[in-house]
Amino acid sequence: MSTATALVVAPAYFSMTVSMVVSNRNQLRKKLRQQRRALSTQQQNLHAQSLSHLVCRDKLFLNAKRIACYLAEDGEIDPLHIIEKAWQYKKDIYLPVLPPTGKSLFFAPFKFNTPLKPNRFGILEPDVHPNKWIGARQLNLILLPLVAFDTEGNRLGMGGGFYDRSLAFTSHRKQWHSPHLIGLAHELQKVDALPCESWDVPLNMIATEKTLY
């Protein structure tokens, strides 16, 4: 192959490879979102209870004061029992909030009586003044939703990249400091290996209704 030909083929091959990775990730998202939505209400409740028992006994949870969590939707495993346990332990709970025009997350305090409102994607978030929001660096523990995971700590999200952008600073740390990151998922969301990108943020741990990885 001539040099000129190689210069033409290499970018085309790279583009095709990137396209295949994106396609595989999107297909995986579609498949696993369908599977978790297919779980019955009883299965969801049992999974949520088992998840809470495992997470709330772990030292990362017990040692954390400021914890970010989420409100489940689209078949996500429900962390409400974890949130309630955190309140019992006098821990501060935060939920992600997305500024109207921003691409990174902030976190707003959440109590049992905090009013909620939908953001631009229709996801409920605390209706509190922005001066009460904090950044990810100020949290001790973040419990993240995910679509798929592998046992190496890799996470596949919904594709918006909001958590990855908000947590990009963690990849520059020489030692692991706060916040620690735990992905929450149904066991059925585990895959052998995820196709990962350079901007994907690895997790400390993944918790399912079965075990902690």
Residue 17 pLDDT greater than 90, yes or no = no
Q: Which stretch of 17-21, 140-144, 180-184 has the lowest confidence by average pLDDT?
A: 17-21
Contacts of 3 (CB under 8 A, 6+ apart): none
When the pLDDT of each residue in the chain is averaged and rounded to a whole number, the result is 88
In a domain, 5, yes or no: no
In percent, the amount of the chain with pLDDT more than 90 equals 71
- Other CB atoms within a 10 A radius of the CB of residue 68 amount to 25
The pLDDT confidence band at residue 16, using thresholds 50, 70 and 90, is: very low
Residue 8 burial (CB count, 10 A): 11
pTM of the model: 0.85
Question: Looking at the domain assignment, is residue 1 inside a domain?
Answer: no
Per-residue pLDDT tens over the stretch 24-78: 888 999 999 999 999 999 999 999 999 999 999 999 999 999 999 999 999 999 9
Identify whether 196 is part of a domain: yes
Highest mean pLDDT among 22-36, 75-89, 153-167, 195-209: 75-89
Residue 2 lies in a domain: no
Q: Which residues contact 136 (CB under 8 A, 6 or more apart)?
A: 68, 105, 107, 142, 166, 167, 169, 179
DSSP single-letter state for residue 63: T
Average pLDDT of 7-31? 61
pLDDT band at 18 (very low <50, low <70, confident <90, very high): very low
All residues at 6 or more sequence positions from 116 whose CB lies less than 8 Å from its CB, including other chains: 71, 124, 125, 126, 127
Beta-bridge mates of residue 206: 183
Q: Is residue 114 part of a domain?
A: yes
Q: Is the pLDDT of residue 3 over 90?
A: no
Task: Grade residue 154 by pLDDT with cuts at 50, 70 and 90.
Answer: very high
Range(s) of the domain holding residue 101: 10-207
In a domain, 154, yes or no: yes
For position 101, what pLDDT does the model report? 82
Q: How confident is the model at residue 20 (pLDDT cuts 50, 70, 90)?
A: very low
User: Which CATH number do you get for residue 197?
Assistant: 3.40.50.10420
The answer to the question of residue 103 being in a domain is yes
Q: What does the pLDDT read at residue 151? A: 94
Structure confidence at residue 170 (pLDDT): 84
Question: How many domains does the chain fold into?
Answer: 1
Q: Is the pLDDT of residue 102 over 50?
A: yes
Is 153 part of a structural domain of the chain?
A: yes
Residue-by-residue DSSP string for 1-27: --HHHHHHHHHHHHHHHHHHHHHHHHH
CB 28 within 8 A of CB 156: yes
Residue 10 has pLDDT above 80, yes or no: no
Contact 110, 95 (CB under 8 A): yes
Over residues 80-100, the mean pLDDT reads 97
